[in-house]
Amino acid sequence: MPIKHTAMTSLAAVSLIAASSAALAANDMSSNNTMSQDKGATQSMQSEAQNKAQGLYSTAQLMDASVYAEDDAKKSVGEISDVLLDNSMGIKSFVIETQGRMGLGGGKSYVVDPSDLKVETLNSDHASKPNYKISLDLTKKELTQKPTYSDSWWSNAQTQASGAWQETKQSAKSAWTELKATTSNIVNGGQDKAENAADATTDTADDAADATKNGADNAADSASNAANEATDNN
């Protein structure tokens, strides 16, 4: 009997240990799932934050960033080698140097518009030195169809931009002159109308005064005649 009791006690102890181990394993799995979910949520929030407009970008860091074509998001086609500004210091174009990565001997540089690319901000140890990933809205073939960056392109683009700037200034000057003339005509026209209205009001007042005076004179004459007739009858 003592032996049987001891065996039953040992069996109960083993069952208790097994149950405890199962509970601990379940807790570990729950903790791991929670940590995994939290990590996934954090990564999702970071990714969402990175894709939002940052409000401020570093051109120095942009020129260190890799550029990817629309039809190949894994292999970089080059990097931004220059940022071209217009007379108002706004971004006119980006220059992308391919470095021979697209089978072009020696590599070529192409000029693309700001609307041809989008910038993704990646994690960085320094806020003032963000890491960027540049994604083109162009395939590799479409990129090679963009203007090639060269001395001749620069000269032509500079001449066109300068002419456009002068034309814009002249148009603005002409528009301002026309606006002043139109405003002056409106003011003068309003003044003339006001003067005409004042003259018309004066004439109307004079006519009314004359009519009132004539009416009063006629009434006085009638009263005088009536008085004379009454005297004669007496």
Q: For 154-193, what is each residue's pLDDT tens digit? A: 999 988 887 775 666 667 767 777 777 777 778 777 777 8
Q: In this predicted structure, what is the pLDDT of residue 169?
A: 61
Q: b/e string for 160-172 if b means 16 or more Cβ within 10 A? A: eeeeeeeeeeeee
- Report which of residues 143 and 30 the model is more confident about: 143
Q: Which domain holds residue 210?
A: 160-234
> How many residues make up the chain in this entry?
234
With respect to residue 195, please indicate whether it lies within any of the assigned structural domains: yes
With respect to residue 154, please indicate whether it lies within any of the assigned structural domains: no
141 and 207 both lie in a single domain: no
Residue pLDDT, tens place only, 35-81: 555 555 444 444 444 556 667 888 888 887 899 999 998 899 999 99
Amino acid at 156: N
> Where is the domain boundary, 104, 130, 149?
149
Q: What is the DSSP letter of 119?
A: E
pTM for the structure as a whole: 0.51
With respect to residue 155, please indicate whether it lies within any of the assigned structural domains: no
34 and 79 both lie in a single domain: no
- For residues 55 and 120, what is the distance between their CA atoms, to the nearest angstrom? 12
165 and 191 both lie in a single domain: yes
- For residues 75 and 136, what is the distance between their CA atoms, to the nearest angstrom? 12
C-beta separation of 131 from 119 below 8 A? no
Domains in the chain: how many in total?
Answer: 3
144 and 211 both lie in a single domain: no
C-beta separation of 137 from 116 below 8 A? yes
